[in-house]
Amino acid sequence: MRRLIILAITLLLALLPALNLAGLGVSDFVITVVGKWLCYAILALSIDLAWGYAGILSLGHGAFFALGGYAMGMHLMRLIGPRGVYGHPVLPDFMVFLGYQELPWFWWGFQSFPFAMLMALLIPGALAFLVGYLAFRSRITGVYLSILTQALTYALMLAFFRNDMGLGGNNGFTDFKELLGIALNTPLARALLFWSSLAALGGCLWLGTSIARSKLGRVLVGVRDAEARLRFLGYDTLQHKLFVFVLSAMMAGIAGALYVPQVGIINPSEFSPGNSLEAVVWVAFGGRGTLLGAVLGAFTVNGLKTWLTSVAPDLWLFVLGAVFVAVTLLLPRGLIGLLEKRR
Partner 1 sequence: MSGRALYVDGVSVVFDGFRALNNLSFIIEPGELRAVIGPNGAGKTTMMDVITGKTKPTAGIVKFGDTDLTRLDEPRIAMLGIGRKFQKPTVFDALTVFENLELALKAVRGPIACWKWRLAAEQRDRIEAVLREIGLSERGQDLAGLLSHGQRQWLEIGMLLMQEPELLLVDEPVAGMTDQETEHTAALLARIAGQRSVVVVEHDLEFVRALGCKVTVMCEGTVLSEGSIDHVQNDPRVIEVYLGR
Binding test (CB under 8 A) with partner 1, winner from 8, 158, 233, 322 = 233
The Cα–Cα gap between 307 and 301 comes to: 10
Establish if 23 lies at the interface with partner 1 (CB under 8 A). Answer: no
Closest distance to partner 1 from the beta carbon of 237 (Å): 8
Closest to partner 1 by CB, 2 or 229: 229
> Which residues ranging from 193 to 232 are in contact with partner 1 (CB under 8 A)?
210-211, 214-216, 218-219, 221-222, 224-226, 228-232
Q: Which amino acid is at 293?
A: G
CB 60 within 8 Å of CB 66: no
Closest to partner 1 by CB, 222 or 286: 222
Closest distance to partner 1 from the beta carbon of 228 (Å): 8
Q: Which amino acid is at 337?
A: G
Beta pairing class for 265-266 and 178-179: unpaired
Cα pseudo-dihedral 183, 114, 62, 191, rounded to 10: 30
CB 33 within 8 Å of CB 239: no
Establish if 143 lies at the interface with partner 1 (CB under 8 A). Answer: no
Closest distance to partner 1 from the beta carbon of 230 (Å): 7
Closest distance to partner 1 from the beta carbon of 220 (Å): 9
Closest distance to partner 1 from the beta carbon of 327 (Å): 20
Closest to partner 1 by CB, 131 or 198: 131
3-state secondary structure of 182: strand
Establish if 240 lies at the interface with partner 1 (CB under 8 A). Answer: yes
Closest to partner 1 by CB, 78 or 224: 224
Closest to partner 1 by CB, 83 or 213: 213
Closest to partner 1 by CB, 83 or 137: 137
CB 23 within 8 Å of CB 259: no
Closest distance to partner 1 from the beta carbon of 214 (Å): 5
Closest distance to partner 1 from the beta carbon of 55 (Å): 11
Closest to partner 1 by CB, 303 or 332: 332
Closest distance to partner 1 from the beta carbon of 11 (Å): 29
Residues in contact with partner 1, counted by CB under 8 A, come to a total of 27
| Helix (H) or strand (E) run with residue 48 in it | helix 28-48
CB 98 within 8 Å of CB 163: yes
Write the CB contacts of 330 (distance below 8 Å, at least 6 apart in sequence): none
CA 36 to each of CA 63, 170, 248: distance values in angstroms, whole numbers, following the listed order: 17, 22, 19
Closest to partner 1 by CB, 28 or 236: 236
Q: What are the backbone dihedrals phi and psi of residue 289, each rounded to the nearest 5 degrees, phi first?
A: 75, 20
Instruction: Count helices and strands (H / E) in the chain.
Output: 13, 4
Binding site for partner 1 (CB under 8 A): 210-211, 214-216, 218-219, 221-222, 224-226, 228-237, 239-240, 242-244
